[in-house]
Amino acid sequence: MKIVKRILAVVGALLLLAVLGVVLKFYVLSPKMRPAPAMTAPTSPEAIARGKYLVHHVTGCVACHSPVRTDQPGEPYIEEKLGAGRVWEKDPSYPDWEIIAPNITPDKDTGLGNWSDGEIARAIREGVSKDGRPLFPMMPFQTYAATLSDDDTLAIIAYLRTLAPQSNKLAATKIGFPVSMFVRGVPAPLEKPSAGAPPASDKKARGDWLLKVCSCSDCHDTFNEKREPIPGKRLAGGEAFRSSVGKIHAPNITSDKATGIGAYSDDDLRRVFNEGVGKAGRPLYFMPWWYYKGMTDEDKDALIFALRQVDAVSNVVPPPELKK
């Protein structure tokens, strides 16, 4: 009997240690963060124009951070509410989650008006809010850490400072346990800023950078149940998205001829980005083409060039289930 008690005591102690370890890792040592860096956004028209280009047509910040018309192809934002924040329709599989992209206009009370440039830069690339709250990584801060140079980041901030302030108070994003715990472990201080966009003369590198910074993978990769990308299935599609038009699966956009975009001509692909029309002739809803259409022709060509070199993966994606 004595020995059983001893074993139970040891097991109990080990369990307690494991729990303490988890608490230590995710609640004491996380989120990993540093004080906001001292950075100052420029105010030159060139920097503001560069920031506007990125925010509207490349990183697409305004597609996530504005109320949008979900019943229209490409989900255009509502002009008068640019940057005022967005509340997503609830996913029935996660009833206690609320995904809310905050107001990023310069409004002092409800937006970024009283944030320093360094605090905004830290949120964009290091994933913590002004008060140190870890951000849910649907905000693509890891992607931005790997792709946006200091100059790109500051140009984005320079442009955000010129938006019309919108008074729009929103609740914070709410994520259920245990995902909320793991989310705390994601933010990380920037070790070395990215070199930013490669020059247009290096078409492949430029296209790869665009594929990354536009977050194509966040929607078009094939994911497991824990929403981790499955190795070897980059851009092979399948993720389901819900919007007011119904349930749409992200298509396979690898160069596979039968199940991907291998059989598309460059013009077919340009039509996707410029007009939001898929090869089958159907208007594309959830795909943010309405934002990408303002990309320069040179950048679109580089993007298409790089997309064609993604490894072909055979993966059949279910057809859309449109309402009405």
Site residues (CB under 6 A) for ligand HEC?
55, 59-61, 64-65, 99, 101-102, 104, 120, 123-124, 129, 135-136, 138-140, 144, 156, 172-173, 214-216, 218-220, 241, 248, 250-251, 253, 261, 269, 272, 278-279, 284-288, 292, 303, 307, 320
Choose between 101 and 197: whose C-beta lies nearer to ligand HEC.
101
Choose between 47 and 287: whose C-beta lies nearer to ligand HEC.
287
Choose between 18 and 68: whose C-beta lies nearer to ligand HEC.
68
C-alpha–C-alpha distance, residues 196 and 206, integer Å: 10
Scan for tokens 């039509």, then name that residue. Answer: 271
* Residue 227 backbone zone (phi > 0: left; psi -120 to 50: alpha; other: beta): left
3-state secondary structure of 252: coil
CB atoms within 10 A of CB 151: 15
- Is the C-alpha dihedral spanning 251, 139, 70, 298 positive or negative? negative
Choose between 10 and 27: whose C-beta lies nearer to ligand HEC.
27
Q: Which two tokens stand for residue 85?
A: 């924040």
CB atoms within 10 A of CB 59: 24
> Is the separation of the CB atoms in 267 and 252 below 8 Å?
no
C-alpha–C-alpha distance, residues 243 and 7, integer Å: 54
Q: Which two tokens stand for residue 189?
A: 């201080």
The least CB distance from residue 199 to ligand HEC, in Å, is 19
The least CB distance from residue 46 to ligand HEC, in Å, is 18
The least CB distance from residue 60 to ligand HEC, in Å, is 5
CA angle 318/61/303 to nearest 5° reads 60
> Is the separation of the CB atoms in 304 and 295 below 8 Å?
no
The least CB distance from residue 29 to ligand HEC, in Å, is 19
Which distant-in-sequence residues (6+ apart) come within 8 Å of 281 by Cβ? none
Choose between 12 and 31: whose C-beta lies nearer to ligand HEC.
31
C-alpha–C-alpha distance, residues 116 and 106, integer Å: 11
Pairing of strands 100-101, 86-87: antiparallel
Residue positions counted in the chain: 324
C-alpha–C-alpha distance, residues 249 and 93, integer Å: 16
The least CB distance from residue 301 to ligand HEC, in Å, is 12
The least CB distance from residue 298 to ligand HEC, in Å, is 15
The least CB distance from residue 213 to ligand HEC, in Å, is 9
The least CB distance from residue 224 to ligand HEC, in Å, is 18
Choose between 61 and 84: whose C-beta lies nearer to ligand HEC.
61
